[in-house]
Structure 1
Amino acid sequence: MTIIRKQSLLIGAILCYVLACTVISLKPNHSPETESVELIAPEASFFQEGNVQSRADYEREMLVDPKTGEVPKDIRSKELKFLNQLKFENEKLRLQKSLAGSDNFNALSVLNQWTSIGPQNIGGRTRALALDVRNENTILAGGVSGGVWRSTNGGQSWSKTTSPNQIQSVTAITQDVRSGQEDVWYYGTGELVGNSGRAPGAPFRGDGIFKSVDGGLSWQVLTSTQSLTPAGFVSPFQYVWDITTDPNSPEDVILAAVWGGIVRSADGGNTWTTVLGDNFLNQPSSTDLNELQAIFYTDIHRAGNGVFYATLSNVTNSSGNLSSKGGVYRSNDGASWSVIANWNSSPVQRTEIASSASDPNIVYFLSDRANRGYSLYRYNASTDALTDLGDNLPDGGDDIEELESQESYNLVVGVHPENPNVVYVGGTNLYRSTDGFTSSENTQWIGGYALDEDGDVVVYENHHPDQHNLVFLPSDPNKMISANDGGLFLTENNLADEVEYISLNNGYVTTQFYTGAISRNQAEDLVIGGTQDNGSILTFNTATDNGPNGVTVIGGDGGFSATTDFGIYYYMSFQNSRIFRLALNERAQLTSFARVDPIGGGSDPSQSYLFINPYILDPNYANRMYLAGGDHIWRNQNLSQIPSGSQQPTSVNWDKLEETEIADGTISALQVSTNPRNILYFGTSNGQLYKVENAHSELYEVTEITSSSFSSEGYIRSIAVDPTDANHILVAFSNYNIHSIYRSVDGGESFHMAAGNLEGDPTGAGTGPSVRWVSIVPKTSGRYEYYAGTSIGLFSTTSIEEGVEPVWVQESPEGIGNTIVNMIDYRQVDGKIAVATHGGGLYTSQIASVVQNDNLVEVDKLEVQTVYPNPFSEKVLIKINSPDTRFVIMRIYDTNGNEVKRITSSLAFQGENDFFWNGTNNQEQPVSSGLYIIRITHEGGEESKRVILQRN
């Protein structure tokens, strides 16, 4: 796997020069012989303990209606209906223009050709999984935000069978297994726990049950399960926990575990009745289910003998109020039910069910008992005995990490088809007991996370944390497919002492990206993105059917990423702004790293780092970083001087820009200009916008440019700066029910609304989408292309003018479709553009005739521009200009010619470079006042300057 050719030539030239000068021996970063090093990532988890601001809080804050403080009810259903109306209006306008003999509408749209680049081999969160009873090599699986996928060769390749405009939030799937009816499949939608803000109305909310009559090749919604009105949360089918059919009935029976209870249809989904729990079917359109107390967690299971089991939580959507209906139930026909156990007054959240194929009378119930841990009950239907085995579940002893469901987010139980005493339970990790958990001695940790030789928590080899489903292959019950937050994994022997897994994510493109960044090196055809639970992934820009093209470089929940112009350094981050500078070998493995985020950043608990926290590399100077530090902007003038190998925050070259302090909220977006350079814009989580001029210097000036038309509590998610004109900017607010996009052409002195037809109402109220990202692309023709990533897909326009409502058109409706687009990244040097979706992976396209950046500092040779201040007392700046990217060695000598300190042996990038000396020696001890010589050795020769250290 070769990352770049140009980079290898660059480093090779550097190496030859350095060796020839006998100055230093440099091992190139991208060499097949280099060994990888290990960087310990934090656990990626939905409710990870210790997060100052959890993922749920972060995503919720981006979306809430500032007026109510809540995500609008039923907003996903509303915005998808809005999308259909928007398409209709655009098509009508196109037709009107065409009939009038005008091509003005076509001129307004961009409509690039977009290519899915996967990653082809790294899946996303998967709850739905089933095998075709006629052929176990036919697998249907569904991502919670990635749609339904189908494989006919045992997971060696996949094709997506839901259309881009259908609900992509797939949570459960089942087949009608009756003879002659096997082509009938159903899938349920709507993830209630685990999505972006778990309140009803969140983006991964569903809208019914879908049916296929052609073996899962195409799908149509059951209209009886679809909300008939966008006015409120009125249907329990908007959250489907599980679904099954009745193989023993001549009727087309479906049973579904939904919000509030268990529902049943005897006519293939045309009509429904509630058979257990709370009846919320056929509610008046004025009903709001949020206001009615309802059972929160439900589950349905069919044993091998056709007997149905169901569970209802007594925990409800009303805090502190328990349902008297909570418990475990049994039925022979799915219509009449008898109670096996009541939960009584003890709060019980989610309960999952599994039975033994070899003895269907043996059934297991695994429960999350809220603040009382977990329980596992074994039920024997032949004797009606219910045995509590909960004390034997993994509790953190015997070197086995305790069972953790993350508040019922991930929970699964499975039974080996040939042995009812071999039981698998999963939460964050996967465990196996060979004595049915009748003791704790025969339990092994077989998936999710693992412990390495040093006792550190790492991801289990070829597996992934957060377990959601287990399916056993009929031909060999020792073969098992595990579904989790990393997609799908097969083991050939689930009874082995050391269970080994094979990834089935071979074109199963369901990865959930928060961010995406194109390599700034034109010779590198890759995109780096931060993902939910899958860390930071380097994805090569190749078609998804050409083999594996993604590499998980670091774990955790991946954040923002960036690269330098020649790809020498790659910057990636974990949740809560733990940022690393990385060097990679030809297999994209780490060869060196340095943690680069500042000591003290985000330290105010009330204004801490965001869960996915923004930072940027200065496009004019690849060693300079600006970081959103909670309540301040932080600036690092030379990241390459930070020593390698540390996993702790650093103080090297970081400055806290005190004048950027905000009184309330959190810094949520930032961008820096290229023409002119060094203008930094940043926005906050409560709608404030600032402009920092001379952001690179100590003489920076901060001006608040918040418009009076902005929502005072709006969340600024993205700022786009025209690379040819720093006064031309777009500002995007991600909240619902406020205006989403503003444009300024005078550097923020005035703004006008620019969301146009993306808003359901001119004020921003209504059913328009959440706008996550905006980009400005200047063309050589003098025109512009504007892009907006939204919760209903990617949109573009070529005209935004004050006083004229922009017409935004959906890009790639048949590819990207209505998938959430969290980020857009554009490379000015050649017009390459990428979008990061939450559930559909990455897409790239090529924009023709873009304006390139011609504002870089151009010099014929490396020169020292500034040594300032001189004399100095604490820190001196040594600014050099380099004609290209090259290796430099910078050392300090005393007047006797003795080396005092080697400041750096690192890269100077093309253009400006700032290096610093703090008046210490190689042992980091202060040196005495006096005259010192700065000597810079580089490919083109050597430069020297004098500096006086004058201590106060």
Structure 2
Amino acid sequence: MVALISAVVLAATGIVYGQNGKLRPEETALKNLQWRAIGPAIMGGRIDDFAVVEGNSSTFYVGAATGGVWKTTNAGTTFEPVFDDQGTASIGDLCIAPSDPNIIWVGSGEPNNRQSSSWGDGIYRSLDGGKTWQNMGLRDSKHIARVVIDPRDPNVVYVAALGHLWGPNRERGVYKTTDSGKTWSQSLFVNEDTGVTDIAMDPRSPGTLYAAAYQRRRTPWGFNGGGPGSALYRTVDGGASWVRLTRDLPEGITGRIGIDIFRGDPNIVYAIIENAKGGVFRSEDRGTTWKKMSDVDSRPMYYSQIRIDPNNDQRIWQCAANMYTSEDGGRTWSQNVVTRIHGDYHGLWIDPANSNHMLAGSDGGIHQSYDRGRSWDFINTIPLGQFYEISLDNQKPYMVYGGLQDNGSWAGPSGTLNQEGITNDEWFRTGGGDGFYSVVDTSDPGTIYVESQDGNVARLEL
């Protein structure tokens, strides 16, 4: 933390990069300082995806929006950061090769379209269970929403590349490799404004895939999440050709689309479609025809994740601010099954060996259930909080204050007498909502000013 604070101060002085090959002034000042974790882990942070080893659910990986990749081998009791030395900490998707659990692919750059969405620098591969990584290209894709691997051949990988959020570019669409990332072919390209936000592979016929094209553009003054480029596509020849699916699906301006295939019978496919006449759609013939099940599609630009229980095609889950659950194939929905944990869900995994076992990832971190979502364990053992801004006071040791994305404002110590280091219980909340600037009165550390969304400012007197 000292290094971070020093770097902020030096950056503010206007020091610029030197070009004579010597250490820059800030590098000289900081070269002997080391990073020291001070937390907190108490509130979690945005989770984008999980990847769980088939047949061994105690080993899984967590992809955080800005916190890299974490691995556990004991069902979440402890975690190890396995991606900290790579070129980005923003994760879009994770995928483990079905034929070899040592092979993991990471698509960088979260795909959730916020003003604060961080971008990545391509696709990464590990051949040793996350011990080492290699960047395998697609660096200009910026945001990778999904990675799928052929269960018969781990060298065959498909990537859903969203492309730039703030402007046009060509490196977007569906990319395919047949040589484990040495070379890539652009299998599906719509236009420079349209990327692909989801892709699903038929587990019994891996040459059949569905891709959700998504036209989007963020500007400093707003967001346009839709256009004529958005559509659902299918290939039956491993991406050599794609057909746009239109029969029984809504026409007109379309936004974000989510897809899932029923593991027990891949004829059954679900899509959640953002459209004036959109909602949840079900196909029973691999996408040739569709039936609209309901209108439910909550804030699709930020969620649009639909999951079918791998053991029951009538039980459907939909990620949103609240978790939606259907027991009748998507006709009706309930929001009262998953309760009392942090909302804004982006990742959901259901154990194919036991549907009662689930992992949920939200803006509030990692949650695990063993009774199909009725109760949850909050895994608050890793620091994932997303600080927008931080400040300090003049106490010794000084306190650190900051505002976090969707997790309020908090304060905690820079040092402690505990041999274990700074713990969660030494941090305390100073504000709610989306925390932003948090400033303490330099003459009275008991007075703290905090900011939250929509221009709200509050004063806390301890």
TM-score range, shorter chain: 0.7 to 0.9
Change (3 A) 1:275 1:315: same
Alpha-carbon contact 2:228-2:252 (below 8 Å) kept: no
Shift, 1:244, TM fit: 0.8
1:494 and 2:369 aligned = no
The corresponding residue for 1:190 is 109
Alpha-carbon contact 1:559-1:577 (below 8 Å) kept: no
Alpha-carbon contact 2:49-2:63 (below 8 Å) kept: yes
The corresponding residue for 1:404 is 299
Q: 1:93 aligns with which of 22, 36, 53?
A: 22
Q: 2:201 aligns with which of 302, 319, 323?
A: 302
Shift, 1:131, TM fit: 0.8
The corresponding residue for 2:246 is 341
The corresponding residue for 2:189 is 277
Q: 1:155 aligns with which of 76, 93, 105?
A: 76
The corresponding residue for 1:897 is none
Alpha-carbon contact 2:45-2:384 (below 8 Å) kept: yes
Shift, 1:147, TM fit: 1.5
Shift, 1:321, TM fit: 9.2
Change (3 A) 1:320 1:355: closer
Q: Residues of 2 paired with 1:383 and 1:258: CA distance? A: 22
1:358 and 2:264 aligned = yes
1:255 and 2:129 aligned = no
1:574 and 2:452 aligned = yes
The corresponding residue for 2:381 is 506
Structure with higher strand content: 2
Alignment of 1:127-142 (within 5 A): 127-133=48-54, 135-142=56-63
1:548 and 2:435 aligned = no
Q: Residues of 2 paired with 1:430 and 1:172: CA distance? A: 20
State, as a whole percentage, how many aligned pairs show the same letter.
24
Change (3 A) 1:294 1:246: same
Shift, 1:486, TM fit: 1.8
Q: Residues of 2 paired with 1:322 and 1:105: CA distance? A: 46
**Deviation sequence 1:275-324 (CA, Å, 0-9, x none):** 2233xxxxxxxxxxxxx643244311124434443233363659799546
The corresponding residue for 1:331 is 236
Secondary structure (helix, strand or coil) at the match of 2:255 reads: coil
Shift, 1:268, TM fit: 0.3
Change (3 A) 1:296 1:583: same
**Structure 1: which 5+ runs fail to align?**
1-84, 98-103, 199-203, 227-234, 279-291, 395-402, 448-459, 585-952
The corresponding residue for 2:13 is none
Secondary structure (helix, strand or coil) at the match of 1:267 reads: coil
The corresponding residue for 2:434 is 557
The corresponding residue for 1:522 is 396
Q: Residues of 2 paired with 1:556 and 1:122: CA distance? A: 13
Change (3 A) 1:332 1:490: farther
**Deviation sequence 1:107-147 (CA, Å, 0-9, x none):** 65564233111212332222132112252112211222222
Q: Residues of 1 paired with 2:370 and 2:253: CA distance? A: 38
Q: Residues of 1 paired with 2:203 and 2:225: CA distance? A: 37
Q: How many residues are aligned here?
A: 426
Secondary structure (helix, strand or coil) at the match of 2:63 reads: strand
Shift, 1:385, TM fit: 4.0
Change (3 A) 1:314 1:149: closer
Change (3 A) 1:114 1:106: closer
Q: For structure 1, which segment, 207-216 or 140-149, has the greater mean C-alpha deviation from structure 2 after superposition? A: 140-149
Q: Residues of 1 paired with 2:64 and 2:226: CA distance? A: 32
The corresponding residue for 1:743 is none
**TM-score w.r.t. structure 2 length?**
0.81
Q: Residues of 1 paired with 2:145 and 2:263: CA distance? A: 22
Secondary structure (helix, strand or coil) at the match of 2:312 reads: coil
Q: Residues of 1 paired with 2:422 and 2:130: CA distance? A: 25
Letter in 1 for 2:346: H
Shift, 1:521, TM fit: 4.2
The corresponding residue for 1:144 is 65
Secondary structure (helix, strand or coil) at the match of 2:89 reads: coil
1:220 and 2:134 aligned = yes
Q: Residues of 2 paired with 1:386 and 1:321: CA distance? A: 21
Alpha-carbon contact 2:245-2:287 (below 8 Å) kept: no
Q: Residues of 2 paired with 1:107 and 1:220: CA distance? A: 30
**Structure 2: which 5+ runs fail to align?**
1-15, 163-171, 219-223
**Deviation sequence 1:579-603 (CA, Å, 0-9, x none):** 333356xxxxxxxxxxxxxxxxxxx
Alignment of 1:676-715 (within 5 A): none
Change (3 A) 1:212 1:265: same
Change (3 A) 1:332 1:483: farther
Secondary structure (helix, strand or coil) at the match of 1:205 reads: coil
Secondary structure (helix, strand or coil) at the match of 2:193 reads: coil
Change (3 A) 1:411 1:314: closer
Q: Residues of 1 paired with 2:22 and 2:436: CA distance? A: 40
Secondary structure (helix, strand or coil) at the match of 1:560 reads: strand
The corresponding residue for 1:531 is 404
The corresponding residue for 1:419 is 312
1:467 and 2:379 aligned = no
Alpha-carbon contact 1:128-1:469 (below 8 Å) kept: yes
Shift, 1:344, TM fit: 7.1
Q: Residues of 1 paired with 2:437 and 2:262: CA distance? A: 45
**Deviation sequence 1:509-546 (CA, Å, 0-9, x none):** 332111223354436x6422101111112334469876
Q: Residues of 2 paired with 1:558 and 1:574: CA distance? A: 5
Q: Residues of 1 paired with 2:349 and 2:46: CA distance? A: 16
Letter in 2 for 1:411: S
Change (3 A) 1:188 1:314: closer
Q: Residues of 1 paired with 2:96 and 2:284: CA distance? A: 27
The corresponding residue for 1:173 is 94
Q: Residues of 1 paired with 2:431 and 2:230: CA distance? A: 45
Letter in 1 for 2:109: G
Letter in 2 for 1:578: N
Letter in 2 for 1:501: W
Letter in 2 for 1:120: A
**Deviation sequence 1:410-446 (CA, Å, 0-9, x none):** 22111122211111112222111111222x3x52344
1:312 and 2:220 aligned = no
Secondary structure (helix, strand or coil) at the match of 1:576 reads: helix
Shift, 1:339, TM fit: 4.6
Letter in 2 for 1:476: N
Change (3 A) 1:312 1:416: closer
Q: 2:40 aligns with which of 90, 104, 119?
A: 119
Shift, 1:576, TM fit: 3.5
Q: Residues of 2 paired with 1:105 and 1:580: CA distance? A: 35
Alpha-carbon contact 2:385-2:404 (below 8 Å) kept: yes
Secondary structure (helix, strand or coil) at the match of 1:115 reads: coil
**TM-score w.r.t. structure 1 length?**
0.41
